[in-house]
């Protein structure tokens, strides 16, 4: 007769028609998706998507059916109220960082408001927090510029290190090459000394020995030119060796005169 009688669990039941009417009520967990438009402290418009997971309290079905006409609209209004009172006090970066705090606040407010109507709020999720497209593009450009700047700095540091290491390697190579040349010259000097001593032991005078060494060095130099595929003109007549010896002797004598 229009008055609430009882709740009937699934199974066999008896009703008295037409005096009793049966309503089917789902006790399963349901999800309500809310979309709210808000402004942050720095005047950025945000579109916030929120998911509220709820169900009817089994022990308070009467209030859920008879005492509230549109529970989803009520929950959406409470979600909008919390977001529009919270986000204007935050800038954009703070809004992203405060998602957990806003979730707790929304859940507490909606749970308190809907509990007396027999609705239990199980969880609240902020599934998306998106600024308008122009702001989103600007944020992406800022992030891209920052990353390019960091990449340029890292690249410059890497090139600096490579140049320093290359300079150190070049200096070390020249140092070692200098040591090698010094050792080579020392060995040549020792070889010349031994050769001069040997020639003198064979009865040659000092001047003859020096001439002999200079002619030998000259011929060795010509041989090196030939090994390097260089084209040179060498006298080949009967008196060629004498001419070479005379030229070397004259050059050596001139060098000693200039030195003195």
In whole angstroms, how large is the CA radius of gyration of the chain? 51
Instruction: Quote the number of domains for the chain.
Output: 2
What is the pLDDT, as a whole number, of residue 248? 60
Concatenated DSSP letters for 173-241?
A: HHHHHHHHHHHHHHHHHHHHHHHHHHHHHTT--HHHHHHHHHHHHHHHHHHHHHHTT-------STTHH
Q: Give me 24's structure tokens.
A: 């089917």
Q: What percent of the chain has pLDDT over 90?
A: 17
Lowest mean pLDDT among 47-51, 137-141, 226-230: 226-230
Rounded to an integer, what is the distance from CA 77 to the centroid of its chain? Answer: 44
Does 254 score more than 70 pLDDT? no
In this prediction, residue 46 has a pLDDT band, given cuts at 50, 70 and 90, of confident
Q: Is the predicted pLDDT of residue 133 greater than 90, yes or no?
A: no
pLDDT at 237: 56
Residue 110: what are its φ and ψ, rounded to 5°? Answer: -70, -40
Q: Are 121 and 214 in the same domain?
A: no
222: containing domain: 204-260
1-5, 97-101, 147-151, 167-171, range with the lowest pLDDT: 1-5
What CATH code is carried by the domain that includes residue 108? 3.30.479.30
Q: Within a domain: residue 197?
A: no
**Looking at residue 32, what is its pLDDT?**
92
**Would residue 240 count as lying in a domain?**
yes
Whether residue 255 is predicted with pLDDT greater than 70 in this model: the reply is: no
Q: Where among 131, 147, 165 does a domain terminate?
A: 131
CA distance linking residue 182 with residue 62, whole number of Å: 107
What pLDDT does 258 receive? 46
pLDDT band of residue 41 (cuts 50, 70, 90) is: confident
User: How much is the pTM?
Assistant: 0.51
**Mean pLDDT along residues 52-80:** 89
More confident call, 36 vs 223: 36
Residue 88 lies in a domain: yes
Among the three residues 83, 110, 131, which one is the final residue of a domain in this structure? 131
Question: Does residue 172 lie within any of the structural domains?
Answer: no
Span 96-126, pLDDT tens digits: 888 888 999 999 999 999 999 999 999 999 9
Mean pLDDT of 9-17: 72
Domain boundary pick from 85, 108, 131: 131
Domain annotation covers residue 34: yes
- Within a domain: 66: yes
Both 41 and 123 in a single domain? yes
In a domain, 251, yes or no: yes
């Amino acid at each position: 007769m229009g008055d609430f009688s009882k709740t009937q669990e699934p199974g066999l039941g008896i009703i008295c028609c037409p005096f009793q009417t049966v309503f089917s009520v789902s006790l399963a967990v349901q999800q309500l998706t809310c979309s709210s438009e808000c402004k942050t402290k720095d005047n950025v418009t945000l579109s916030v998507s929120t998911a509220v997971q709820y169900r009817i309290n089994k022990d308070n079905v009467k209030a859920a059916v008879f005492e509230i006409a549109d529970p989803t609209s009520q929950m959406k209004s409470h979600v909008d109220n919390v977001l529009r009172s919270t986000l204007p006090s935050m800038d954009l970066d703070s809004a992203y960082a405060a998602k957990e705090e806003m979730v707790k606040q929304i859940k507490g407010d909606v749970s308190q408001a809907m509990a007396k109507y027999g609705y239990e709020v199980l969880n609240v999720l902020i599934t998306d927090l998106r600024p308008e497209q122009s702001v989103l593009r600007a944020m992406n450009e800022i992030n891209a510029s920052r990353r390019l700047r960091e990449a340029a700095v890292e690249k410059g540091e890497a090139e600096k290190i490579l140049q320093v290491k290359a300079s150190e390697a070049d200096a070390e190579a020249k140092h070692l090459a200098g040591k090698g040349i010094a050792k080579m010259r020392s060995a040549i000097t020792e070889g010349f000394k031994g050769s001069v001593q040997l020639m003198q032991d064979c009865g040659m005078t000092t001047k003859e020995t020096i001439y002999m060494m200079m002619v030998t060095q000259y011929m060795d130099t010509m041989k090196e030119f030939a090994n390097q595929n260089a084209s040179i003109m060498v006298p080949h007549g009967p008196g060629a060796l004498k001419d070479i010896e005379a030229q070397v002797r004259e050059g050596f004598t001139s060098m000693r005169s200039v030195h003195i």
